[in-house]
Amino acid sequence: MIFGPLRWAIRTVLALVLLLVAYVGITFVQIWLTGRVHSTRRADAILVFGTAELNGRPSAELAARLGTALALYDAHRAPWIAVTGGNRPGDVYTEAGVSATWLEARGVPASRIIVGGGDDTWQNVSSVAPRLRARHLTTVLTVTDPFHEDRAMANASSQGLTPYPDPVAHAPSSGPGLWRYYLKETIAVSVGRVVGYGLLSTWSRSLHLPFAAGGL
């Protein structure tokens, strides 16, 4: 009689573990598949998620995202570009400011660029979403690395925008260490879907969790 409740408890724990593993596994597959989708739709704006800048110059990862955004803009897929990303302690420039300068130097009018900020994915979106909505711009082409595309779109959708995926086709971040980014994104999306991405942003900042703006 003593072992009956114990067996039941063990089976319950095992069932919960299997459900958790299945949930995380499905989340990973969805993240991987989303990063392989390239929308052909037009939108109101292009939303570029920030990542590291190097003393006023875009890093290779940021330059790849900006190149993708510029190609979409030149192809008349959207008439506006929203750039995001803040700066780290000691930095003189912001990711969004560097991005705007890069785009302007390549022919995008400053009047067509919305400059935001933000230290993580949620803040990236919240820094530009009110200004997009104020201009009645609600559909966006989300430009970021493939592993970050799912979370980027989820954050945009959670803040009232309608996102379409346009990840970087040949991201510099691909390579032997790419699995770390997918692992981090799988954890972030798994948690964010349960607690909400806004709360995930609050937790990541207060606990210094590595869920950075661009997934890098």
pLDDT one-digit tens code per residue, 158-191: 999 999 999 999 888 877 789 999 999 999 999 9
Pairing relation of β-strands 81-83 and 113-115?
parallel
The residues, ordered by sequence, that sit 6+ positions from 143 with a Cβ below 8 Å of its Cβ are 46, 47, 48, 49, 65, 68, 69, 72, 166, 167, 168
Predicted pLDDT of residue 216: 53
Give the C-alpha separation, 152 to 155, whole Å.
Answer: 5
Mean pLDDT of 86-113: 95
Q: Which residues pair with 165 in a beta bridge?
A: 142
Domain 45-206 falls under CATH 3.40.50.1970: no
Give the C-alpha separation, 159 to 40, whole Å.
Answer: 23
**Segment 131-143, tens digit of pLDDT:** 999 999 999 999 9
Is residue 213 pLDDT above 60, yes or no?
no
Give the 3-state secondary structure of residue 165.
strand
Task: Specify burial of residue 100 (Cβ count, 10 A radius: 0-12, 13-18, 19+).
Answer: buried
Q: Are 139 and 162 in contact (CB under 8 A)?
A: yes
Tokens of 205: 């900042």
Residue with the bigger pLDDT between 111 and 92: it is: 111
CA 1 remoteness from chain centre: 53
Residue with tokens 């072992």: 3
Give the residue extent of every domain in the chain.
Answer: 45-206
Mean pLDDT of 193-212: 84
Mean pLDDT of 112-137: 97
Share above pLDDT 70 across residues of the chain, in percent, rounded to a whole number: 94
Tokens of 199: 């709360």
Tokens of 63: 């330059």
Tokens of 123: 């803040």
Predicted pLDDT of residue 156: 98
DSSP string, 15-43: HHHHHHHHHHHHHHHHHHHHTT-------
**Segment 29-82, tens digit of pLDDT:** 999 999 999 999 999 999 999 999 999 999 999 999 999 999 999 999 999 999
